[in-house]
Amino acid sequence: DAKTTQPPSMDCAEGRAANLPCNHSTISGNEYVYWYRQIHSQGPQYIIHGLKNNETNEMASLIITEDRKSSTLILPHATLRDTAVYYCIAMKTSYDKVIFGPGTSLSVIP
Amino acid sequence: KAGVTQTPRYLIKTRGQQVTLSCSPISGHRSVSWYQQTPGQGLQFLFEYFSETQRNKGNFPGRFSGRQFSNSRSEMNVSTLELGDSALYLCASSLARFTSTDTQYFGPGTRLTVL
B45 to A99: CB separation less than 8 angstroms, yes or no? yes
Of B69, B77, B78, nearest to B24 (Cα)?
Answer: B69
Mean pLDDT of B20-39: 94
Predicted local distance difference test score (pLDDT) of residue B108: 96
Residue B36's DSSP bridge partners are: B44, B89
**Residue B10, H or E segment:** strand B10-13
pLDDT bucket at B95, cuts 50 / 70 / 90: confident
Predicted local distance difference test score (pLDDT) of residue B82: 97
Cβ contacts of B45 on chain A, cutoff 8 Å = 97-99
Predicted local distance difference test score (pLDDT) of residue B43: 87
Please tell me if residue B81 touches chain A, with a CB cutoff of 8 Å. Answer: no
Point out the residues of chain A with pLDDT beneath 70.
Answer: 1, 93-96
pLDDT tens profile A46-56: 999 999 989 99
Of B32, B26, B63, nearest to B45 (Cα)?
Answer: B32
Position A88, amino acid: C
**Tally of helices (H runs) and strands (E runs) in chain A:** 0, 9
Q: Which residue of B has its CA nearest to A95?
A: B96
CA distance B16 to B19: 10
Predicted local distance difference test score (pLDDT) of residue B103: 85
Predicted local distance difference test score (pLDDT) of residue B23: 98
pLDDT tens profile A76-94: 999 999 999 999 998 876 5
